[in-house]
């Protein structure tokens, strides 16, 4: 490949991964792999400066402001840092500082927290605005979301008239692990790492969602202060700490070589810290010297970030076990001889799926190379085939669930194997939590923690067992009490009348969510009619299709499903449909809802549309019939206007259904 073609290819790859990382918080490669792509591009452009273009990723700061937030122009730019990957590069930075600063100078060293960079603005000690970094000069106004971050001071005593502080919003490793545990139970996609979890939380349009994520912040720079000037960066950090900001830990060193001590300590101990970090930041301490050095178009000349490569260790495979997750997915993992990796002792690592096992060709007795994905989850990255013992054989995943013995099936994408049983012990918590969830039977007070207590106490083994609970038994559970138990039993009793659509959704049949369940409930009068329907009848229903029809008939054919339905019937749970078409005035019409509706919830408006034979959609297209717009309607309204689609108000909608 010639140089121009390689440069073009690198630029396309970097731009693609930059957008996934900075804009959508959904990376598909590690930070280290991204850094290596950028380093290669920089090296090629350095060798061939005539090929540098203004739009090259090396010539700009990554990131951009998203349109759904008000844009903020930063009074002081939030610059990025130049990365170094070796001590030779670090010492070269020190030599540049020695040549540019004739007087004595020292350095601060602090951890580089892997989160979402923010500016916090204060006027007369009151927090007035918070914004993301964006492209460094323009970010997104996320003030209301930042107010929910427990460690952001909302008022500061003895503060200057105007103050701007820069910090890093992060999700602690403990909160991240708990959030992913709950997402796994609900069958939701797992978050990639704490950094992306924090970024996604901070960009939620609903501050209540951001608040539920238990984010934190650590401040690391004083961007602007109208008060008395400071002499050093260390002084500003101490002053910020005195004001009540959580501040990054730092150490001061007189020369660049002494900084190595702290860099190595941070690297060795990063696994023990509550937050993710991907490097150490080395800065000139004197603020006047910083000012004299200034910045390039991309980064300050007075600081660098020393980036740690992912730590890798070898260990021997003692066993290959298969676990059944709470969503029924069978996940293989290697059991290895314990090894210290990124701050913790690792004795097992994920292999993800059979395709990954085949790609690596992992076998019992092999010596494998381990690393932590996102510094959290141990995984196998390669096999040292030179150390493979004789007589090993390839590993194959089981055809039957190791927990309950039921057949397993491959997902449509061919990557994952899944247990087919609705009563599999491994899936019990997820199934019961889903059954009780808001979109299913909507049993108030039956969250994940209560479900766990019921299962651990032996009171519940399946969703149907909920309808046989007694208040006195529930009251004995930890953190329940008599009143809470009575309220829970009442909520369970109320759910018996939830109707066919919610019940079908609650079963957790693959590809039968709220929408498909409601479609079935509008077509069939009761559950018995659904059970009696064949695949041909089901797939003829709009929005069901052949694959979903197959999943439905397969689920109802299982003995475990029949047992659960029998228990629900005996408990008095209604199998009748509550969905009925009033008339067909909206037949063939598709509505899109946007903005805040005053007279209906989104669910109520969608249900009305469906009762009149119409369809509610989440996105605007040329096939959209109407857009029902409430207050603060956003991009959907704009797109409807561009496409010439009729936009109606709530009053006009009320006239249509009167």
| Residues belonging to the active site | 112
Angle at which helices 559-571 and 545-557 cross, to 10°: 70
Q: Could you tell me which residues come within 8 angstroms of residue 265 by beta carbon, excluding any fewer than 6 positions away?
A: none
Q: By the 8 A CB rule, do 215 and 199 touch? A: no
Helix (H, G, I), strand (E, B) or coil at 580: coil
Q: Could you tell me which residues come within 8 angstroms of residue 490 by beta carbon, excluding any fewer than 6 positions away?
A: none
N residues, the chain: 658
Q: Which residue has the tokens 């049983």?
A: 421
Q: Which of 650, 614, 620 is nearest to 635 (CA)?
A: 620
Q: Which tokens is 69 given?
A: 């937030």
Helix (H, G, I), strand (E, B) or coil at 168: strand
Q: Which residue has the tokens 């609650």?
A: 506
Q: Which residue has the tokens 């660049």?
A: 256
Q: By the 8 A CB rule, do 232 and 286 touch? A: yes
464 Ramachandran zone, left/alpha/beta (phi>0; psi -120 to 50): alpha
Distances in whole angstroms, Cα of residue 445 to Cα of each of 21, 112, 212, 480, 483: 37, 41, 17, 10, 12
Distances in whole angstroms, Cα of residue 418 to Cα of each of 335, 357, 403, 429, 438: 21, 17, 12, 16, 25
Q: Which DSSP helix (H) or strand (E) runs through 156?
A: none
């Amino acid at each position: 490949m010639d140089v121009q073609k390689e440069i073009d290819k690198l630029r396309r790859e970097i731009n693609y991964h930059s957008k996934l990382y900075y804009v959508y918080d959904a990376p598909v490669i590690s930070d280290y792999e991204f850094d290596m792509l950028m380093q290669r591009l920089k090296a090629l452009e350095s060798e061939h400066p005539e090929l540098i273009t203004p739009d090259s990723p090396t010539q700009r700061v990554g990131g951009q402001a998203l349109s759904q937030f008000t844009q903020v122009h930063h009074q002081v730019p939030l610059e990025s840092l130049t990365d170094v990957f070796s001590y030779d590069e670090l010492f070269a930075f020190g030599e540049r500082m020695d040549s540019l600063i004739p007087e004595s100078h020292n350095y601060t060293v602090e951890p580089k927290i892997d989160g979402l960079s923010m500016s916090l603005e204060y006027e007369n000690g009151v927090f007035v605005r918070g914004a993301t970094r964006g492209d460094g000069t323009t970010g997104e106004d996320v003030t209301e979301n930042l107010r929910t971050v427990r460690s952001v001071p909302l008022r500061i005593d003895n503060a200057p008239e105007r103050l701007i502080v820069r910090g890093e919003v992060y999700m602690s490793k403990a909160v991240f692990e708990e959030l992913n545990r709950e997402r796994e139970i609900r069958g939701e996609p797992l978050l990639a790492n704490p950094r992306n979890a924090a970024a996604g939380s901070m960009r939620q349009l609903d501050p209540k969602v951001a608040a539920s994520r238990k984010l934190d912040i650590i401040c690391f720079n004083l961007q602007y202060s109208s008060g008395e000037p400071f002499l050093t960066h260390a002084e500003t950090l101490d002053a910020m700490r005195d004001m009540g900001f959580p501040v990054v830990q730092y150490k001061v060193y007189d020369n660049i070589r002494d900084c190595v001590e702290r860099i190595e300590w941070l690297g060795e101990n990063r696994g023990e810290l509550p937050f993710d970090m991907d490097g150490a930041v080395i800065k000139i301490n004197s603020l006047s010297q910083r000012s004299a050095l200034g910045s390039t178009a991309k980064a300050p000349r007075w600081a660098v970030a020393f980036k740690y490569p992912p730590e890798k260790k070898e260990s021997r495979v003692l066993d290959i076990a298969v676990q059944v997750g709470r969503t029924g997915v069978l996940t293989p993992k290697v059991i290895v001889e314990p090894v210290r990796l990124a701050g913790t002792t690792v004795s097992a690592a994920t292999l993800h799926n059979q395709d990954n096992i085949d790609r690596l060709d992992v076998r019992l007795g092999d010596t494998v190379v381990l690393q932590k994905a996102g510094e959290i989850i141990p995984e196998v990255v390669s096999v040292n085939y030179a150390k493979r013992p004789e007589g090993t054989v390839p590993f194959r995943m089981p055809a039957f669930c190791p927990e309950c013995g039921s057949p397993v099936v491959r997902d449509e994408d061919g990557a994952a194997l899944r247990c087919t049983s609705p009563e599999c012990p491994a899936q019990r918590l997820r199934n019961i939590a889903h059954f009780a969830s808001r979109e299913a039977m909507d049993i108030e007070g039956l969250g994940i923690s209560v479900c766990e207590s019921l299962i651990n106490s032996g009171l519940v083994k399946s969703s149907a067992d909920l309808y046989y609970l007694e208040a006195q038994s529930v009251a004995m559970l930890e953190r329940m009490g008599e009143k809470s138990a009575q309220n829970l039993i009442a909520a369970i009793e109320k759910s018996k009348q939830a109707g066919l659509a919610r019940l079908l959704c609650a079963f957790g049949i693959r590809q039968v969510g709220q929408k498909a369940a409601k479609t079935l409930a509008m077509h069939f009068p009761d559950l018995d009619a659904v059970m009696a329907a064949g695949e041909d009848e089901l797939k003829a229903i709009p929005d069901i299709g052949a694959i979903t029809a197959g999943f439905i008939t397969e689920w109802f054919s299982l003995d475990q499903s029949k047992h659960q339905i029998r228990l629900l019937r005996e408990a008095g749970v209604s199998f009748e449909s509550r969905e009925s078409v009033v008339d067909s005035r909206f037949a063939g019409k598709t509505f899109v809802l946007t903005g805040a509706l005053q007279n209906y919830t989104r669910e109520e408006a969608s249900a009305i549309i469906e009762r009149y034979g119409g369809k509610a959609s989440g996105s605007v297209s040329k096939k959209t019939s109407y857009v029902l717009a409430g207050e603060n309607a956003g991009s959907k309204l704009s797109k409807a206007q561009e496409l010439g689609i009729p936009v109606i108000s709530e009053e006009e909608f009320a006239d249509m259904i009167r």
